[in-house]
Amino acid sequence: MMARLFLVLLIWGIWFAPHQAVFAQDDTAAISVRRGEHPAYSRVVFDFLQVPQYQITKAGDRIRLQFTQSHVFDFSVLRNDPLAHIMAIEARADDDQNGSGTILDIMVNPQSSFRHFLSGASLVLDVFPAQNAEGIRAEAAAEPAPPSQNSPQEMRSVAAEQGASNSSPLSYRPEASSDLLPLSLVKDADGIELAFGWQKGTTAAVFLRSGWLWTIFEDSRRVDLSAVERSVAEGNSGPLRSAEQMDAQGFTALRFDLVGSVGLSVRRTGQIWRVRIVSGASAPARELTPVRQAGAQGTVIFVAADEVGGRLSLVDPAVGDRLSVIPLGDDGRGLAQDHQYVDFHLLPSAQGLVIDPVADGLQIVRFATGVSIGSQRGLAISGSELAARMGAARGGTVVSRMIDLEAWRQGAHEGTKADYTAREQQMLVDLSLADAASRKSVRWDLARFYAGHGAYPEAYAMLALLADTDPEIKNTLQWKAVSGVVLLGLNRPLEALTALLDPKLDAESDLWLWRALAANHAERHALALDYFRRGTEALALHDRPFLAKIHLAIAQSALAEKAYDLASGQITSLQNMGLSGNQALAVDYLYGQLAQSRGDIATARARYQDAASARDRHLSTKARLQLARLEYGEGNISISEATARLERLRFAWRGDRLEMDVLETLADLYRQQEQYRQALLTLQLAASAFATDAQSRDLAAQMSAIFSRLFLDGAADKLPPLEALGLFYDFSELTPLGSSGDRMIRHLVERLVSVDLVDRAAELLEHQVSYRLEGSAQALVAAQLGKIYLLDSRPEETLRIMRATRQPILPDDVLKQRTLVSARALSELKRYEEALVLLENTSGREADQLRADIYWASQDWPALAAISDRLLGNRWRNDAPLALPEREILIRQALALSFNDARERLAQLRSRYRPLIMEGDYAGVFDLLTSPSGTPAGELGRIAGELGGVDQFRSFLSAYRAEFTPTGGTAF
Asked if residue 834 lies in contact with residue 822, where contact means CB atoms within 8 angstroms, the answer is: no
Quote the CA–CA distance of 87 and 85 in Å, as a whole number.
6
Which of 520 and 963 is assigned the larger pLDDT?
A: 520
Asked if residue 820 lies in contact with residue 787, where contact means CB atoms within 8 angstroms, the answer is: no
DSSP characters for 918-934? SSSTTHHHHHHHT-TT-
Quote the CA–CA distance of 654 and 689 in Å, as a whole number.
10
Torsion over CA: 83, 88, 92, 96 (sign): negative
Q: Lowest mean pLDDT of 51-55, 319-323, 403-407, 413-417, name the range.
A: 413-417
Quote the CA–CA distance of 707 and 248 in Å, as a whole number.
52
3-state class (DSSP) for residue 627: helix
* pLDDT at res. 736: 76
Residue 159 reports pLDDT greater than 70: no
* pLDDT at res. 557: 95
Residue 455 reports pLDDT greater than 60: yes
DSSP characters for 57-102? EEETTEEEEEESS---EE-HHHHHS--SS--EEEEEEEGGGTTSEE
Determine what percent of the chain is predicted with pLDDT higher than 90.
33
Q: Which of 562, 523, 517 is nearest to 539 (CA)?
A: 517
Give the total residue count for the chain: 972
Q: Which of 301, 302, 292, 297 is nearest to 376 (CA)?
A: 297
Asked if residue 114 lies in contact with residue 42, where contact means CB atoms within 8 angstroms, the answer is: no
* pLDDT at res. 164: 32
Which of 107 and 623 is assigned the larger pLDDT?
A: 623
Q: 812 to each of 245, 835, 964, how far by Cα in Å? A: 73, 19, 22
Q: Which of 884, 881, 846, 898 is nearest to 867 (CA)?
A: 846
Q: Lowest mean pLDDT of 410-414, 437-441, 907-911, name the range.
A: 410-414
Quote the CA–CA distance of 796 and 75 in Å, as a whole number.
58
Quote the CA–CA distance of 458 and 428 in Å, as a whole number.
12
Asked if residue 152 lies in contact with residue 38, where contact means CB atoms within 8 angstroms, the answer is: no
Amino acid at 928: L
Residue 194 reports pLDDT greater than 90: yes
3-state class (DSSP) for residue 441: helix
* pLDDT at res. 951: 40
Quote the CA–CA distance of 893 and 902 in Å, as a whole number.
11
Which of 215 and 76 is assigned the larger pLDDT?
A: 215
β-strands 62-67, 312-315 pairing: unpaired
Rg (CA), the chain: 42
* pLDDT at res. 741: 73
Quote the CA–CA distance of 298 and 439 in Å, as a whole number.
34
Determine what percent of the chain is predicted with pLDDT higher than 70.
84
Q: Which of 579, 585, 591 is nearest to 618 (CA)?
A: 585
Orientation angle between helical segments 657-672 and 696-711, nearest 10 degrees: 10
Residue 559 reports pLDDT greater than 90: yes
pLDDT digits (tens, 9 = 90+) for 277-310: 998 878 888 899 898 876 656 778 889 888 899 8
Q: Which of 203, 202, 206 is nearest to 194 (CA)?
A: 206
* pLDDT at res. 743: 78
Residue 530: CA atoms inside 13 Å, Cβ hemisphere, count?
10
Q: Which residues of 7-29 are buried (b: 16+ CB within 10 A; e: fewer)?
A: ebeeebeebbeebbeebeeeeee
What number of other Cβ atoms are within 10 A of residue 278's Cβ? Answer: 17
Cα angle value 814/819/823 (rounded, 5°): 155
DSSP characters for 684-735? HHHHHHTTTSTTHHHHHHHHHHHHHHHHTSSGGGGS-HHHHHHHHHHTGGGP
3-state class (DSSP) for residue 205: strand
* pLDDT at res. 378: 67
Sheet order of strands, 272-279 included: 183-187, 191-196, 272-279, 262-269
Q: 826 to each of 160, 800, 838, how far by Cα in Å? A: 67, 11, 9
Residue 131 reports pLDDT greater than 60: no
Quote the CA–CA distance of 801 and 769 in Å, as a whole number.
9
Residue 391 reports pLDDT greater than 80: no
pLDDT digits (tens, 9 = 90+) for 741-793: 777 777 778 777 777 778 888 887 888 788 778 888 888 888 888 888 888 88
Quote the CA–CA distance of 642 and 627 in Å, as a whole number.
10
Mean pLDDT of the chain: 81
Q: Which run of H or of E encompasses 512?
A: helix 509-521
* pLDDT at res. 965: 56
Quote the CA–CA distance of 183 and 195 in Å, as a whole number.
6
Residue 5 reports pLDDT greater than 70: no
Beta-carbon contacts of 105 under 8 Å, excluding residues fewer than 6 positions away, are: 62, 63, 64, 89, 90, 92
pLDDT digits (tens, 9 = 90+) for 665-693: 999 999 999 999 999 999 998 888 888 77
Quote the CA–CA distance of 206 and 187 in Å, as a whole number.
19
Q: What is the mean pLDDT of residues 450-471?
A: 91
* pLDDT at res. 386: 32
pLDDT digits (tens, 9 = 90+) for 430-442: 888 888 878 888 8
3-state class (DSSP) for residue 119: strand
3-state class (DSSP) for residue 942: helix
Q: Which run of H or of E encompasses 125?
A: strand 122-128
Residue 27 reports pLDDT greater than 60: no
pLDDT digits (tens, 9 = 90+) for 841-851: 999 999 999 99
Residue 8 reports pLDDT greater than 50: no
Q: 820 to each of 453, 674, 736, 814, 886, how far by Cα in Å? A: 82, 42, 32, 10, 21
Cα angle value 559/562/564 (rounded, 5°): 70
pLDDT digits (tens, 9 = 90+) for 40-71: 889 999 888 777 888 898 888 889 999 888 88
Quote the CA–CA distance of 306 and 589 in Å, as a whole number.
43
pLDDT digits (tens, 9 = 90+) for 695-704: 778 888 899 8
Q: What is the mean pLDDT of residues 29-34?
A: 81
* pLDDT at res. 960: 59
* pLDDT at res. 962: 62
Asked if residue 102 lies in contact with residue 94, where contact means CB atoms within 8 angstroms, the answer is: yes
Using CA atoms of 922, 923, 929, 932 in order, give the dihedral in degrees to the nearest 10. 180
Residue 395 reports pLDDT greater than 50: no
Residue 216 reports pLDDT greater than 90: yes
Q: First CA to last CA across the chain, in angstroms?
A: 56
pLDDT digits (tens, 9 = 90+) for 825-874: 999 899 999 999 999 999 999 999 999 989 988 889 999 999 999 999 99
Quote the CA–CA distance of 939 and 789 in Å, as a whole number.
35
Quote the CA–CA distance of 920 and 900 in Å, as a whole number.
26
Torsion over CA: 838, 840, 844, 846 (sign): positive
Torsion over CA: 337, 339, 345, 346 (sign): negative
Q: Lowest mean pLDDT of 158-162, 861-865, 918-922, 926-930, name the range.
A: 158-162
Residue 591 reports pLDDT greater than 60: yes
